[in-house]
Every structure is written in structure tokens, then in C-alpha cells.
Amino acid sequence: MKKICIDARFWGVTHTGIGRYVENLIANLPQDTDTQVILIINPNQLHEPKLAGYEKHVARAHPYSAWSQIEMLLLLIRIRPDLLHVPHFTIPLLWPGKMVVTIHDLIKHFSRGQETTTHNPLLYWVKYLGYLVVVKLAVMRASHIITPAQYWKDILVAKYHLRPTKESVIYEGVGSIFSE
């Protein structure tokens, strides 16, 4: 049986666009008896009824923290997935396994500088450099990249000199705005 692990820490509308994307992704997974889907969630999602049918592992660290990198690596060593889907550029940097990464946009590549933050300038530039490194590693390490628009696929191909076949455009659908 194949194991697919989804980093679902951003699941739900409280995490805005990415959360909605993850929620819809999980809700629309095809049923396959030869594939086990395992979710990595945050503690608030442990008893979420919409996630009841899945094996879940809890990650407590904030997804953008250094501790998250260690925690995710340890979880993935325990899970041993054949494929990891990371629905954001925040990949587990030390995980050597096969990954599919969704990159929604590169807005921070184009909108940057002191006027885009309330943080201390030194802290901002350190974090921005970290962002650039993580995105580049995500792009280079991913076995495949999903983008929600041809525009972002073209930007990624040009900026990182990727083969166009390394990326797929999967348009984001319209979901219900009402809770069920």
C-alpha cells in the first residue's frame, strides 16, 4: 500500500487562502484502496469531524519556525511516506523523500522592503533572506510543483530555470462560503 502524507497544518478557513486550498484538497481526494492518506495537522484540528477518516499526526511547532523543521523531520521518519504533499513553500528542508509542493505565488519576491513590514529592519531582512532560501530549496527539491495559475508557473520556470514539465497548473475551484 502506498502512503501519501499531506502537510495539513494550514487546514481550514482560519488560515485564509492556503487553509481553504488544503481543506478543499482533502475534501476532494479520490478514494483509492491501494493508497493510505496520512495528515500532519496542528493540535486544534485533532477532533475536526471533516478529518475523521484519516490517520493524523500532530505537529505543535509553528510552520515557519526552526523547531518545525526538526519536528516535521521526526514525524516524517515515523510515517515514512512514499510521497509528501506540502501545500505551501514551507517544506521540511531535511526530508530526503519525494515531495510535491504547491506554490501559490511569489508575491514576496516582488513586494519587499521596509515599507512592507512593521518589524525591525534588521529582523525583516534576515527573515526575507530566509524566505528566499526556503523558496529556492522548495523549488529545487520538489519532485513536482503545482501552481494555481499559468502566470506563476511561467514566473517559476523563468526565475529558477525549471523544465516546464516539472510544474502543473491546477486551477483552484470555487467552494462553498457557508459552513456545512
Structural domain including 114 reads 2-169
Cα 18 to Cα 175: distance, rounded to the nearest angstrom? 13
Which tops the pLDDT comparison, 105 or 180?
Answer: 105
Tens digit of each residue's pLDDT (9 = 90 or more) over 11-27: 987 767 899 999 999 99
* Residue 117 lies inside a defined structural domain of this protein: yes
pLDDT averaged over every residue in the chain: 91
Which tops the pLDDT comparison, 173 or 76?
Answer: 76
Residues in the chain, how many? Answer: 180
How many of the other CB atoms lie within 10 Å of CB of 51? Answer: 19
pLDDT of residue 124: 87
* Residue 178 lies inside a defined structural domain of this protein: no
Burial environment of residue 11 by CB neighbours within 10 A (0 to 12, 13 to 18, 19 or more): buried
* Residue 174 lies inside a defined structural domain of this protein: no
CATH code of 96's domain: 3.40.50.2000
